[in-house]
C-alpha cells in the first residue's frame, strides 16, 4: 500500500491545539511557565520548525544511530586503547563524563516543560522528540564511562558529580539552572536551544570528536558525534521564537536573553573545552587551538545567526574577545593549582614546546602566563611541592561561580568587581557577570558561593579540608593530583632560565599568624598573581605585616618576588592609583570592611623605606 | 573559458561522491544513481560540515552531522526544505568531467 508523503499529513499531525472549556487560556498556559511576552495567538499559530520529523522516522533513525554507537563500542571493546591511553586523555574523559551526562538528564526536564507549555503544537511536538533525545544522551554517556570504572574510581563522578557541591559542578549547574531550568518556555528555548545547542555544543561535541579521532579513541568520537547529530532537530526550537519576538515588539527582550545566555555558557565551556584543547591533547595531535575553534565554530556561525535574526552582537563583545585570550588559560592554572578539588588528575601541559605553541596561538602568553608557570616550576625544582598546593581560596564570581582571576605576570589584570546590594557584598569576575546580576538580582542574590560560605562561617572548622569534603572529595573518590607525578618539570632543570635547584624567595614563608578575635576576611590582590585570594587578616597587623602575610599565598605559588623592591599596601581602585598606606600603620586603622579588596605590590625603596 | 577538468568518470562511480578543489573552490562531484552527474558545494549550508562525509541514497544526500538532507539533482533542501546547495555548471566530454566554479558562492542556512 502506498504511504502518503510526510508533507501531506505533517501539518495536521502537529496541530494539537484545542479550545479549553473548563479552564481559561491563562490557566492552561500560565505566563511564568509558557510565555510572559504575551506573543499573539496568530504568531503562535504560524510557528514553524524548518527541520521536520515524524515519530516513525524518529524511531527508525535513532535506532540506527544507537546500533552504530553500540556496535563500535562492542567492536573496539577488546582493543587495548584504554590500557595505553595516557593520563591526559583519561583526564579529558573524566572531565567530560563528570560534567555532561546528568546535565543532559536535566535537559529532559527543560524539553518536558516545552512539550507541555509551548503554545504551538509544533513546538510541543519538537520538544517531545527533544526530551527523548536528552534521555538518550544521558543514558549513553552514563553507560560508556561505567565500564571504565573498574580501571579508575574517578570515573564514578559520571554518576555522582551532578549530585555533589564541587565548585566546578556548581558552576555548570548554576549556569544550566539559569538558562535551562528556571525560565519560561520561550526564554529557555532561546537561551538553551538557540544559543547553547546551536553554538556551544559544537565545542564539546565537534571539537572534541576531532581530537578523539586524532588520539585514537574512536569509541568516544563516535559516541559524541552521534549525540551531536540529535542537537539540530531540537536546537531549532528557539529560532522561530526570536523571529516572533522581533516582529511583535519584544526585540530588546530577545536580545537580552541572547546576551545573558551567550556569556554564561561561554564562561563554563571555556573551562570544559578550552583547557583540554589547549593543554591536555598531546601537542602533535591538536588540530586547532581553542581560540581558532571558537572563531571557526562559534563566532562565525553566531554572527551569521544574529544577522539572520536582525539581532546585534552582545554589548560586551570586546570583553568577550579579550576573554578568549585569557579566561581558560588562567583557569587552567587554577585547575592545576587547586588539583585536589578536581575529580580527575589535572595536566600541566606547559613543557617548552607546548609553551612555544601557546605563545604562537596566543601572543603574549609567555610574557604573562609564562611567569605564573615559571614560579611553579621554580618551586617544584626547589623541592617545595608544598608551595604548589594552595592554602587559601580565590573569591568566586557570584554569577558564573568560577574563581575570580585574570591575566597574571607583569600585565596583572586580576581584580574582583564588587557590588554592595541589600546589605551583602557580591563579587564578580567581569563587568558582564555584574551586569547579568543587576538585570535580575532577585534571581541570583540568595545563592552563596563556597567562598561566601567560608566567609559567612558556614564551614567548621574553616579549613581547606572541610571545604574539600563538602565538595565530595574523598567521598566520591580521591581528588586530583598532577597527572604525571611532576615528571614534566625535569625538562626545565638547569635550562630555560631555571637553575638546577629552582628558586624560592624568602617571602614564600611567613611566621605570622592572625591572633585573637580581631580578624577580618579581605581580598588580597597581589602583584603579578593571576588569582585574587581570600585571606583572613589580623586587624592588629601593621601594613608591612599585612603585606608579608599575603605574600606567602602568592610568592612561590603564582607570583614572583621582585628583589630590591619593597611591598606596599593600598586599596584596590579601578585605575590602580590609590596612595599606599604608611608601612607601620595598623591595618585596622584603615577601617576595612569585610571582603574589601587590597593591592599588595612592589614599590621602589625610597630613602625613608630603606632598611637601616 | 571557465570550465576546468576535475576528474574522469572512472574516478566517481555511480552512487558515489568525491571532494575536489577547483581553482581554490572546494566542490563535491556526485554521481547519482541513474547516471546523472552534479557538482555541489562541499559544505553543508547548516554548519559547514563536509558533505562528502555524508551518505547518498538515490538522489538524496544526508549530512553526517545533523542529518540535513538535500536533493543533489536540484540542490533543493529535502529537510529542512528552505535550505539549498549551490550547484556548479558541469559538462562531460568523453570520459572527462569539467566544472565551472566562477562567480558561484556556497549557500548558508540556519535551523
Q: What is the pLDDT of residue B100?
A: 96
- β A533-538/A519-526 pair status: antiparallel
Q: Where in chain A is the domain with CATH 1.10.620.20?
A: 38-274
| Chain B CB contacts of A232 below 8 Å | 46-47, 65-68, 111
Size of interface A-B (CB pairs under 8 A): 47
Cβ–Cβ < 8 Å for A542, A586: yes
**pTM value?**
0.93
Q: What is the mean pLDDT of residues A51-78?
A: 92
Give the closest-approach CA distance of A51 to chain B in angstroms.
4
Which own/partner pairs from A293-296 qualify as long-range (CB within 8 Å, at least 24 positions apart)?
A293/A203, A293/A207, A294/A203, A294/A324
Q: Report the side by side order of strands in the sheet with B25-31.
A: B16-22, B25-31, B37-41, B87-88
Give the closest-approach CA distance of B10 to chain A in angstroms.
31
Q: A239, B110: Cβ pair inside 8 Å?
A: yes
| Chain B CB contacts of A229 below 8 Å | 64-67
Q: What is the pLDDT of residues A114-162, one digit of tens each?
A: 999 999 999 999 999 999 999 999 999 999 999 899 999 999 999 999 9
% of chain A beyond a pLDDT of 70: 99
- Return the DSSP state at A310: T
Q: B65, A51: Cβ pair inside 8 Å?
A: no
- Grid cell of A17 as nine digits: 491545539
Cβ–Cβ < 8 Å for A381, A489: yes
Give the closest-approach CA distance of A300 to chain B in angstroms.
10
pLDDT at A600 over 70: yes
Q: What is the pLDDT of residues A356-413, one digit of tens each?
A: 999 999 999 999 999 999 999 999 999 999 999 999 999 999 999 999 999 999 999 9
**Of A335, A346, A48, A51, which is closest to residue A168 (Cα–Cα)?**
A335
Cβ–Cβ < 8 Å for A334, A405: yes
Q: Specify the DSSP element, H or E, that contains B26.
A: strand B25-31
Maximal C-alpha separation, chain A: 104
Q: What is the pLDDT of residues B77-91, one digit of tens each?
A: 999 988 999 999 999
Close Cβ partners of A55 (under 8 Å, ≥ 6 residues apart): A129
**Of A552, A166, A93, A583, which is closest to residue A345 (Cα–Cα)?**
A93
Q: What is the pLDDT of residue B65?
A: 86
Q: What is the mean pLDDT of residues A278-296?
A: 93
Q: What is the pLDDT of residues A430-457, one digit of tens each?
A: 999 999 999 999 999 999 999 999 999 9
Residue B7, helix vs strand vs coil = strand
Q: What is the ipTM of this complex?
A: 0.79
Q: What is the pLDDT of residue A608?
A: 58
Interface test with B, best of A7, A49, A50 (most B CBs within 10 A): A50
Cβ–Cβ < 8 Å for B97, B90: yes
pLDDT at A609 over 80: no
- Grid cell of A181 as nine digits: 531550568
Q: A235, B67: Cβ pair inside 8 Å?
A: no
- Can you tell me which residue has the cell 553500540? A70
Q: Is pLDDT larger for residue A546 or for residue A514?
A: A546
Q: Please, what is the average pLDDT of chain A?
A: 94
pLDDT at A610 over 60: no
Instruction: Name the residue facing B82 among A50, A53, A225 (closest C-beta).
Output: A50
Cβ–Cβ < 8 Å for A399, A585: no
Q: What is the pLDDT of residues B7-25, one digit of tens each?
A: 999 999 999 999 999 999 9
What's the CA gap between B33 and B19, in Å, rounded? Answer: 18
Class at the top of the CATH hierarchy for domain A38-274: mainly alpha
Give the closest-approach CA distance of A236 to chain B in angstroms.
5
Q: A235, B111: Cβ pair inside 8 Å?
A: yes
Q: What is the pLDDT of residue A1?
A: 62
Q: A231, B80: Cβ pair inside 8 Å?
A: no
A495: phi then psi, degrees, rounded to nearest 5: -135, 170
What's the CA gap between A298 and A104, in Å, rounded? Answer: 20
Any B CB within 8 A of A287 CB: no
What's the CA gap between A555 and A538, in Å, rounded? Answer: 20
In this structure, CATH architecture of domain A506-604: Roll (3.10)
What's the CA gap between A251 and A238, in Å, rounded? Answer: 14
**Of A425, A421, A424, which is closest to residue A441 (Cα–Cα)?**
A421
pLDDT at A612 over 50: no
Q: Specify the DSSP element, H or E, that contains A72.
A: helix A55-76
Burial degree of A238 (CB within 10 A; 0-12, 13-18, 19+):
buried
pLDDT at B111 over 80: no
Q: What is the pLDDT of residues A346-372, one digit of tens each?
A: 999 999 999 999 999 999 999 999 999
Query: Could you tell me the CA-to-CA distances from A43 to A35, A283, A342 in Å, in that order?
Result: 12, 51, 48
Rg of chain B taking only CA atoms, in angstroms: 13
What's the CA gap between B4 and B22, in Å, rounded? Answer: 7
What's the CA gap between A81 and B17, in Å, rounded? Answer: 32
Instruction: Name the residue facing B80 among A51, A206, A304 (closest C-beta).
Output: A51
**Of A234, A97, A237, A111, which is closest to residue A155 (Cα–Cα)?**
A97
What's the CA gap between A346 and A332, in Å, rounded? Answer: 9
Question: What are the structural domains of chain B?
Answer: 4-99 (2.102.10.10)
Q: B111, A53: Cβ pair inside 8 Å?
A: no
Interface test with B, best of A232, A236, A287 (most B CBs within 10 A): A232
Query: Could you tell me the CA-to-CA distances from A112 to A181, A182, A500 in Å, in that order?
Result: 10, 13, 61
Q: Where in chain A is the domain with CATH 3.10.20.270?
A: 506-604
**Of A207, A202, A220, A209, which is closest to residue A85 (Cα–Cα)?**
A220
Give the closest-approach CA distance of B29 to chain A in angstroms.
24
- Grid cell of A595 as nine digits: 571582603
Amino acid at each position: 500500500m502506498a504511504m502518503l508523503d510526510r508533507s501531506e499529513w505533517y501539518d495536521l499531525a502537529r496541530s494539537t491545539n484545542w479550545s479549553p472549556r473548563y479552564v481559561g487560556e491563562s490557566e492552561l498556559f500560565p505566563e511564568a511557565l509558557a510565555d510572559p511576552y504575551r506573543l499573539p495567538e496568530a504568531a503562535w499559530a504560524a510557528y514553524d520548525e524548518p527541520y521536520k520529523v515524524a515519530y516513525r522516522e524518529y524511531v527508525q533513525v535513532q535506532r540506527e544511530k544507537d546500533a552504530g554507537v553500540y556496535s563500535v563500542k562492542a567492536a573496539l571493546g577488546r582493543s587495548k586503547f584504554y590500557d595505553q591511553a595516557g593520563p591526559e586523555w583519561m583526564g579529558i574523559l573524566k572531565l567530560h563524563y563528570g560534567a555532561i551526562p546528568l546535565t543532559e538528564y536535566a535537559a529532559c526536564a527543560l524539553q518536558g516543560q516545552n512539550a507541555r507549555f509551548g503554545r504551538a503544537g509544533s513546538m510541543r511536538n519538537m520538544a517531545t522528540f527533544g526530551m527523548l533525545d536528552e534521555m538518550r544522551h544521558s543514558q549513553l554517556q552514563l553507560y560508556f564511562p561505567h565500564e571504565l570504572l573498574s580501571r579508575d574510581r574517578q570515573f564514578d563522578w559520571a554518576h555522582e558529580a551532578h549530585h555533589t557541591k564541587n565548585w566546578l559542578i556548581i558552576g555548570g549547574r548554576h549556569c544550566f539552572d539559569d538558562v535551562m531550568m528556571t525560565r519560561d518556555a520561550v526564554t529557555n528555548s532561546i537561551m538553551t536551544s538557540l544559543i547553547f545547542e546551536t553554538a556551544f555544543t559544537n565545542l564539546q561535541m565537534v571539537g572534541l570528536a576531532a581530537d578523539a579521532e586524532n588520539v585514537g579513541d574512536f569509541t568516544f568520537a563516535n559516541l559524541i558525534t552521534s549525540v551531536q547529530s540529535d542537537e539540530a532537530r531540537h536546537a531549532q526550537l528557539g529560532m522561530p521564537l526570536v523571529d516572533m519576538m522581533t516582529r511583535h515588539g519584544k526585540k530588546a527582550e530577545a536580545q537580552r536573553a541572547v546576551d545573558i545566555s551567550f556569556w554564561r555558557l561561554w564562561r563554563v565551556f571555556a573551562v570544559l573545552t578550552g583547557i583540554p584543547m589547549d593543554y591536555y591533547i598531546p601537542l602533535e595531535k591538536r588540530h586547532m587551538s581553542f581560540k581558532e575553534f571558537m572563531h571557526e565554530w562559534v563566532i562565525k556561525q553566531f554572527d551569521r545567526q544574529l544577522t539572520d535574526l536582525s539581532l546585534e552582537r552582545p554589548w560586551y563583545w570586546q570583553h568577550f574577545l579579550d576573554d578568549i585570550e585569557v579566561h581558560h588559560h588562567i583557569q587552567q592554572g587554577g585547575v592545576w593549582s587547586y588539583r585536589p578539588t578536581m575529580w580527575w588528575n589535572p595536566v600541566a601541559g606547559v613543557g617548552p614546546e607546548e609553551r612555544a605553541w601557546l605563545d604562537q596561538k596566543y601572543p603574549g602568553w609567555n610574557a604573562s602566563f609564562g611567569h605564573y608557570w615559571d614560579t611553579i616550576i621554580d618551586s617544584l625544582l626547589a623541592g617545595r611541592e608544598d608551595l604548589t598546593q594552595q592554602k587559601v581560596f580565590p573569591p568566586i564570581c557570584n554569577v558564573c561561580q568560577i574563581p575570580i582571576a585574570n591575566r597574571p605576570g607583569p600585565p596583572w589584570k586580576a581584580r574582583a568587581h564588587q557590588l554592595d546590594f541589600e546589605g551583602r557584598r557580591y563579587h564578580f569576575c567581569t563587568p558582564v557577570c555584574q551586569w547579568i546580576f543587576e538585570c535580575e538580582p532577585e534571581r541570583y542574590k540568595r545563592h552563596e558561593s563556597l567562598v561566601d560560605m567560608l566567609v559567612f562561617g558556614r564551614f567548621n572548622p574553616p579549613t581547606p579540608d572541610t571545604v574539600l569534603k563538602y565538595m565530595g572529595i574523598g567521598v566520591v573518590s580521591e581528588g586530583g593530583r598532577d597527572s604525571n607525578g611532576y615528571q614534566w618539570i625535569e625538562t626545565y632543570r638547569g635550562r630555560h632560565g631555571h637553575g638546577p635547584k629552582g628558586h624560592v624567595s624568602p617571602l614564600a614563608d611567613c611566621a605570622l599568624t592572625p591572633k585573637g578575635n580581631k580578624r577580618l576576611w579581605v581580598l588580597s590582590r597581589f602583584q603579578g598573581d593571576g588569582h585574587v585570594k581570600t585571606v583572613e587578616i589580623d586587624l592588629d597587623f601593621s601594613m608591612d605585616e599585612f603585606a608579608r602575610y599575603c605574600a606567602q599565598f602568592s610568592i612561590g605559588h603564582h607570583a614572583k618576588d621582585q628583589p630590591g623592591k619593597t611591598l606596599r599596601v593600598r586599596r584596590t581602585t579601578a585605575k590602580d592609583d590609590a596612595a599606599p598606606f604608611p608601612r607601620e600603620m595598623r591595618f585596622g586603622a584603615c577601617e576595612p570592611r569585610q571582603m574589601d579588596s587590597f593591592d599588595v605590590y612592589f614599590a621602589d625603596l625610597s630613602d625613608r623605606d630603606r632598611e637601616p | 573559458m571557465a570550465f576546468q577538468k576535475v576528474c574522469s568518470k572512472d574516478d566517481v562511480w555511480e552512487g558515489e561522491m568525491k571532494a575536489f578543489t577547483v581553482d581554490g573552490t572546494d566542490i563535491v562531484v556526485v554521481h547519482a544513481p541513474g547516471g546523472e552527474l552534479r557538482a555541489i558545494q562541499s559544505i553543508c549550508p547548516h554548519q559547514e560540515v563536509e558533505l562528502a562525509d555524508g551518505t547518498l541514497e538515490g538522489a538524496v544526500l544526508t549530512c553526517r552531522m545533523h542529518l540535513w538532507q538535500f536533493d543533489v539533482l536540484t540542490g533543493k533542501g529535502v529537510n529542512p526544505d528552505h535550505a539549498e546547495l549551490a550547484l556548479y555548471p558541469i559538462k562531460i566530454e568523453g570520459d572527462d568531467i569539467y566544472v565551472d566554479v566562477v562567480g558561484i558562492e556556497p549557500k548558508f542556512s540556519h535551523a
